[in-house]
Chains A and B, each alone.
Chain A
Amino acid sequence: QQQVKQSPQSLIVQKGGISIINCAYENTAFDYFPWYQQFPGKGPALLIAIRPDVSEKKEGRFTISFNKSAKQFSLHIMDSQPGDSATYFCAPQGGSEKLVFGKGTKLTVNP
């Protein structure tokens, strides 16, 4: 049973555009919803995260939107830059310290 479904698998955006990555989950015990960014040959780095008591969180160009009833959360990257080209993972967590990773989205931002 796949607990986390991340889409799209890959995404190509022009510089300055908006990148949107979605994550759907099944486990209602999840209470922490992070997005991780991974560059080739590196470990993932926490990009932004949200708790379920709010529906949106913005940090600079990055925004998480959270829809508890739909069991979905998404990452929006405004004014996308070539330096944002990376693989992004949603990895909700709850009830334990384990992260449940999505399959990842490879984002390419063309100059």
Chain B
Amino acid sequence: GAVVSQHPSWVICKSGTSVKIECRSLDFQATTMFWYRQFPKQSLMLMATSNEGSKATYEQGVEKDKFLINHASLTLSTLTVTSAHPEDSSFYICSATRRTGGSQPQHFGDGTRLSIL
């Protein structure tokens, strides 16, 4: 099956630090990638949709200057949490689809657990 790799899997850093998370599709070209946030025992919350070569589309309430998304190639999207604070601590998960348009299966990475001290 399709493989999506996310790195790092776990990061701990001090408040005020910026953290970059990478999401790679290893065996297919992902025209669209998604970034989610998940709090303990809760469902996934979509943060933004990332299309290769264009600006990301953010969901309502998500600060685009706080969560910078870059989708520079068909196999890589990055999420940078700028000037992270303890309230940004969460489980961040990316997903990717092979094709654009309509309803397509999403393939998820294994997530990045971010802890801000």
List residues of chain A with CB under 8 Å of any chain B CB.
Answer: 30-32, 34, 36, 41-46, 49, 89, 93-95, 97-99, 101-104, 106
Contact = CB atoms under 8 A, between A and B. Distances in A.
B32 A97 contact: yes
A32 B104 CA distance: 8
A97 B102 contact: yes
Contacts of B44: 44, 89, 101
23 contacts: A31-B102, A36-B108, A42-B111, A43-B6, A43-B95, A43-B108, A43-B110, A43-B111, A44-B44, A45-B108, A46-B105, A46-B106, A89-B43, A97-B34, A97-B97, A97-B100, A97-B103, A97-B104, A98-B49, A99-B34, A99-B46, A103-B42, A103-B43
Given A43-B6, A43-B93, A43-B95, A99 B113 contact: no
